[in-house]
């Protein structure tokens, strides 16, 4: 399958539905792609843009044909009818937006369509949002706006109401493994892929965190069994390593989250890990923001992972089922 944009892993349902809408000429002019960062929403937006701008019809299964003049221009990043802006830190200004919208209001140079991909749209300023709204309200025919955002609650209701919304979920562990393997990260284990929590945002520190993974996993198992001696030693060692504390807590949270997800069939184990996940968030806050003795808070966290405490947790309002549901939503 030839494509003018990067290969995409995951999100098959949304991508197929988008192609179908485009093929049937039923694609709305304004779309909003949302979901946690690092899952490839922007790539899907660029793939759709390539489909819309490709000169070869009918549409291929993914992206453009890869060989026409439009696809060649897309690949080199010079297609005159594609406008991409990013509103993150040091991103596009209101003037940049105004300029892009002005160009979008002109006639297409080739193929008869124009596309705007507005990344990190939830960071757009109020002034910017108002300017954008005018364009969304009066779209020119064959002009498409694709907004990409992690936190849609930061977008004004007026913008939200103009856009058809598409949600993109976390990547699955096999999908993350596939992407990492393609990037040349050889021998990526399932555990290391699980560490990403379905997002490739913090991928650069994955190697460092993968080294901590086995240690953290075996300590959590010991804690679950109630092995006080191993738990005490780990808390001491981790608590005294100030520079590695943030990474360690990050891995701890991912490992506890994985334990929770994989114990969905076992109510009492799920109760323990759901409670531990809550505690892990408190631990991060206490140890990193409030500078409470890290060894003590780690000890408390690991102690709370003991299966023996299960009775106590099952009677607390943060029941495992509630948290599991929240994780799966
Ligand atoms: Zn093409």
Query: Residue 178 C-alpha to ligand 1 middle, in angstroms?
Result: 26
Question: By the 8 A CB rule, do 223 and 303 touch?
Answer: yes
- The percent of residues above 90 in pLDDT, for the chain, comes to 42
Instruction: List, for residues 285-303, the tens digit of each pLDDT value.
Output: 888 877 788 898 899 889 8
Residue 57 Cα to ligand 1 midpoint, Å, equals 8
pLDDT over 60 (residue 186): no
- The predicted structure's pLDDT at residue 61: 60
CA 71 to ligand 1 centroid distance, Å: 4
Q: Could you give the CA distance from residue 318 to residue 284 in angstroms, rounded to a whole number?
A: 19
Q: At what angle do helices 228-240 and 294-303 cross, to 10 degrees?
A: 150
Ligand 1 mean position to 104 CA, how many Å? 20
**Residue pair 228/299 in contact by the 8 Å Cβ criterion:** no
Peptide bond into 58 cis (omega under 30): yes
Contact 108, 135 (CB under 8 A): no
Do 125 and 211 share a domain, yes or no?
A: no
Q: Based on the domain organization, do 160 and 41 belong to the same domain?
A: yes
Alpha carbon distance 291, 289 (integer Å): 6
Residue 283 placed within a domain: yes
Read off the pLDDT of residues 47-104 as tens digits, 9 standing for 90 and up: 999 999 999 876 666 678 888 999 999 988 899 999 999 998 888 999 999 999 999 9
CA of 64 to the centre of ligand 1 (A): 4
Report pTM.
0.68
More confidently predicted of 85 and 307 = 85
- The sheet carrying 114-119 orders its strands as 82-86, 114-119, 143-149, 30-34, 164-167
Surface-to-core class of residue 61, CB atoms within 10 Å of its CB (0-12 exposed, 13-18 middle, 19+ buried) = exposed
- Whole-angstrom Cα distance, residue 54 to residue 171? 28
Q: Using the structure block, give the residue that is written with the tokens 């990526």.
A: 188
Last residue of a domain, one of 167, 190, 212: 167
pLDDT per position as a tens digit, 211-241: 788 889 999 999 999 898 999 999 999 999 8
Angle between helices 126-137 and 94-104 (to 10 degrees): 10
Containing 85, the helix (H) or strand (E) segment is strand 82-86
Q: Does residue 93 belong to any structural domain of this protein?
A: yes
Q: What is the mean pLDDT of the chain?
A: 84
Residue 226 shares a structural domain with residue 249:
yes
Q: Is residue 2 part of a domain?
A: no
Cite the DSSP H helix spans in the chain.
12-23, 41-53, 69-75, 94-104, 126-137, 157-162, 173-182, 190-194, 206-225, 228-240, 245-262, 267-284, 294-303, 310-314, 320-328
**How many independent structural domains does the chain possess?**
2
Contact in structure between 84 and 121 (CB atoms under 8 Å): no
Centroid of ligand 1 to alpha carbon of 51 (angstroms):
8
* Domain of residue 201, residue span: 173-328
- Is residue 99 domain-shared with residue 19, that is, in the same domain? yes
Please tell me the distance between residue 184's alpha carbon and the centre of ligand 1 in angstroms.
28
CA 117 / ligand 1 centre spacing (Å): 18
pLDDT for position 28 = 96
Q: What is the CATH number of the domain that holds 128?
A: 3.40.50.300
- Separation of CA 84 and ligand 1 centre (Å): 19
Residues 178 and 321 in one domain: yes
Rounded Cα distance, 273 and 269, in Å? 6
Ligand 1 center–CA 60 separation, angstroms: 9
Q: Is residue 254 part of a domain?
A: yes
């Amino acid at each position: 399958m030839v494509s003018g944009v990067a290969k995409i892993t995951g999100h098959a349902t949304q991508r197929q539905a988008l192609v179908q809408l485009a093929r049937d000429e039923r694609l709305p002019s304004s779309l909003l792609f949302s979901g946690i960062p690092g899952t490839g929403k922007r790539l899907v937006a660029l793939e759709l843009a390539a489909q819309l701008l490709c000169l070869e019809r009918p549409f291929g299964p993914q992206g453009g044909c890869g060989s026409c003049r439009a696809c060649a221009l897309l690949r080199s990043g010079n297609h005159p009818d594609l406008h991409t802006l990013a509103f993150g830190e040091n991103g596009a200004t209101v003037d940049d937006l105004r300029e892009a919208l002005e160009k979008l209001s002109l006639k297409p140079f080739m193929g008869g369509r124009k596309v705007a991909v507005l990344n990190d749209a939830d960071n757009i300023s109020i002034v910017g949002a108002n300017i954008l709204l005018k364009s969304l309200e009066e779209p020119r025919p064959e002009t498409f706006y694709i907004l990409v955002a992690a936190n849609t609650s930061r977008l004004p209701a007026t913008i939200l109401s103009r856009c058809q919304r598409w949600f993109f979920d976390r990547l699955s562990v096999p999908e993350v493994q596939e992407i990492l393997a393609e990037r040349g990260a050889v021998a990526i284990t399932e555990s290391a892929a699980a560490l990403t929590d379905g997002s490739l945002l913090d991928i650069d520190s994955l190697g460092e965190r993968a080294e901590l993974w086995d240690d953290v996993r075996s300590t959590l198992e010991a804690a679950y069994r109630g092995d006080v001696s191993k738990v005490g030693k780990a808390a001491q060692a981790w608590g005294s390593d100030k520079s590695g504390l943030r990474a360690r807590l990050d891995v701890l949270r991912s490992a506890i989250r994985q334990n929770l997800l994989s114990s969905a069939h076992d109510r009492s184990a799920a109760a323990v890990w759901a409670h531990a996940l809550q505690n892990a968030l408190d631990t991060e806050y206490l140890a990193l923001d409030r500078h409470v003795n890290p060894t003590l808070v780690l000890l408390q966290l690991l102690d709370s992972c003991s299966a023996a405490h299960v009775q106590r947790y099952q009677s607390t309002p943060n029941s495992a089922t509630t948290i599991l549901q929240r994780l799966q939503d």
